[in-house]
Structure 1
């Protein structure tokens, strides 16, 4: 009869250890759930996700019901184990039961279930939520009392109950998330997402075409010269000015010029009449803002000006889109045309190449918070205009000037230091 009683107690003890494992794994899995994936599954009407999400709205109550259940079954299991041990070994069984039960609970009710729950939180949390929700309703009075006392103690310790961390991600955190996506996100999509995140950190000044490279129509030239230039241009929109780009008076679209040609009315006055008024952009405008401004103003090109109103260059919608999707022109698919790889692993780079283009093409980390071109970066580092070829190091990259003309570094050899 006594053997049957001990057998029943052993079965009950095993059941209690199973319950302890359930509560331990439930706690870990609930806390380990990815909140963003959970929200996605809730929108998809996933039943388990909906149940878990409702429980996590009040984590204090969730933790309360889990810990009450876990402590209750552990204490009860300890009492039953002691009874079994005393019946089998007498008073010495108390020490045996304590040590043996501690080992069993650690292995089977704590470490193992919590490890499994941390690795596969959704597989544990979603089914557990269907049990925890009704259990919370049953045990709510006890949970409420414990939470009230706990919250009171926290207020005494001056701990802000509303100071829970936000689930929102900062730009840097989102960038890390995209970088860590790995095979889950195609490389192309990953690059585009990172490009979008960079828009706020990059300004118009970083990507504009500088004024010395801007092609435009000088109305002070003869009409034949202007028509010859227009027949050879590869651009669809050109700024129009008098003598100097600072005197810009409009932006000409080739479509409007074609209409003039069809009518046989090509004159300087007619060109100026069909040109659209210039659209000016401050050089410090973030690309994200400028992209929205282009959309709002129905524009595709802007004249970039500094704080004094002097023209610094032009920026186009294509320039901004290239920051997101990469180069749009075919000649820039691999390396930009200003970079020429050498057999020894170094690169011949034109002095007018943009630092951002070099970094992107070679996956380098040259500083971009100062000069925009390689020539400017070298001269700023030297703090002077070189009269002859020099060697220097910039941010861990070896630089050797090869051609200098009129104080401008036309070509430099560059290599990353090993």
Structure 2
């Protein structure tokens, strides 16, 4: 073999290694690139970002084309190197060619381009997208055939690729938010607000409503003067009116409507017709999710709804503020009566009202108690204990000790709560 031929083979190997580096870096960049970022750049007028976004959408075909191209050039480069070494050094050259090509491919065609690509995947993906589009078109028929064969082969082993579930956009966003919080990019309050927004579609109004036992209501059969006095003494703007029995809600009295009626009557309370002032009640099913209820509040320009179960019985009430608090946290104004529901004690324990929601505990204390089967602290204890506990009974669930302090009939009204140290949990197990 002449020197010219050796230089030509060496040059071909260098070109093939460069192509291998291109395929390897492109695979890493397009796999790690953010679809949201590509969409944002496309809206800003970057056509290459649009191409990259469309390639990411057909990721299976894209990876197939890149792997085909990468293996093709790597095998060709190794074959050329082996043949050249054999002609120069003989049969012993196979080992030398293998070692040399392994080093060159590993360093210059794999580690180097992938490290470069992962350091700036979005920029790298945008840069290579136009070329990759052509690569996918050229290798498309081959990769499609390979995909069909691979899917058939996997099905023979009982693996259905089409039936596998990918991560949903909400889960992807939630994972990103949690990761940013873990890395210090988001404060806990910011994480909770974003998480609350994502949870709206998963929560029902029964999860955030004020239970009927805690509702303030007015008896429409009482004298108008007494109703006005009770309304003015209340911290709430909207109060349900009932007649005959508390289940029979006939209207909702709004404080502003009451003030307008008083002004129109020149302050003559006895002349007021309370039911004429009241607005019609709005009933919503307890299974309505918060996302739909928020849209309904905005559409009706209303802030207040009564929650009923499948039998039409009133379970409680939900307000626009209740839903917003799931996103931004507790909202207080100058008329709110501040009831924490969680009171720290000198011994390090917490006195928790039974009606405090598990979500509020998790948010306020950064715990991770489950809220799928129960929505309140008392409900969680009853669900996990599988019984109605007695006072002073203690239970430990999910790394937290619950002691029943007070109980009214079958309802737990007060709990003493304390997080159990990991050492004590391990010793107990």
Q: TM-score range by the shorter chain?
A: 0.7 to 0.9
**Residue 38 of structure 1: CA displacement?**
2.3
Q: Is residue 210 of structure 1 aligned with residue 235 of structure 2?
A: no
- Per-residue deviation, 1:415: 0.8
Q: What is the SS of the residue equivalent to 2:415?
A: strand
> Matched residues in 1 for 2:13 and 2:67: separation?
19
Larger deviation, residues 229-238 vs 58-67: 58-67
Residues 336 and 361 in structure 1, CA contact (< 8 A), matched pair in contact too: no
**Deviation at 1:50?**
3.1
**How far is the alpha carbon of 1:209 from its aligned partner?**
1.6
1:4–1:211 distance in 2 versus 1, CA, 3 Å: closer
- Secondary structure in 1 matching 2:269: coil
2:105 corresponds to: 105
In 2, the alpha carbon distance for the partners of 1:396 and 1:332 equals 37
CA separation of 1:267/1:148 partners in 2, compared to 1, >3 Å: closer, same or farther?
same
Residue among 275, 278, 299 paired with 2:278: 275
Structure 2 partner of 1:89 = 89
Matched with 1:315 is 318
- Whether 1:326 aligns to 2:329 is yes
Q: 1:115 to 1:315 in 2, by over 3 A?
A: same
* Shift in CA distance, 32/269, structure 1 to aligned 2, threshold 3 Å: same
User: 1:129 maps to which residue?
Assistant: 129
Q: Per-residue displacement from partner, 1:63-118 (whole Å, max 9, x unpaired)?
A: 56645654554455345434543464345434432432233223322343234334
Q: Which residue of structure 2 aligns with residue 178 of structure 1? A: 177
TM-score (structure 2 length as normaliser): 0.79
Find the partner of 1:301 among 297, 300, 304: 304
Which deviations, in whole Å up to 9, do the C-alpha atoms of 1:283-313 show, x marking residues without a partner?
2322222222222333211122223322222
CA distance in 1, matches of 2:125, 2:322: 48
Tell me, yes or no, if structure 1 residue 37 matches structure 2 residue 40.
no
In structure 1, stretches of 5+ residues that fail to align are none
Q: Contact conserved, 2:348 with 2:418, CA < 8 A, in 1?
A: yes
**How many residues of Structure 1 are paired with residues of Structure 2 in the alignment?**
412
- Native 8 Å contact 2:37 2:122 kept in 1: no
CA–CA separation in structure 2 for the residues paired with 1:94 and 1:295: 75
CA distance in 2, matches of 1:78, 1:407: 78
User: In the aligned structure 2, how far is the partner of 1:411 from the partner of 1:318?
Assistant: 26
Which has the higher mean CA deviation after the structures are superposed, 303-312 or 76-85? Answer: 76-85
CA distance in 1, matches of 2:380, 2:66: 61
Structure 2 distance, partners of 1:408, 1:61, is: 59
Give the CA deviation at 1:268.
7.1
For residues 352 and 60 of structure 1, what CA distance do their matches in structure 2 show? 50
Cα pair 1:219 1:268 within 8 Å, conserved: no
Partner of 2:25, secondary structure, is helix
1:52 aligned partner = 52
Question: Cα–Cα, structure 1 residues 27 and 288, in superposed 2: closer, same or farther, change >3 Å?
Answer: closer
Q: Which moved more, 1:265-274 or 1:300-309?
A: 265-274
Distance 1:282 1:229, change over 3 A: same
Match of 2:403 in 1: 400
- For the 8 Å contact 2:42–2:49, the answer to whether it is kept is yes
Counterpart in 1 of 2:25? Answer: 25
C-alpha distance in structure 2 between counterparts of 1:220 and 1:181, whole Å: 56
Secondary structure of 1:113's aligned partner: helix
Match of 2:348 among 345, 361, 375: 345
Change in CA separation of 1:191 and 1:19 when aligned onto 2, cut-off 3 Å: same
1:251–1:154: structure 2 CA closer, same or farther, 3 Å change rule? same
Question: Which residue number corresponds to residue 387 of structure 2?
Answer: 383
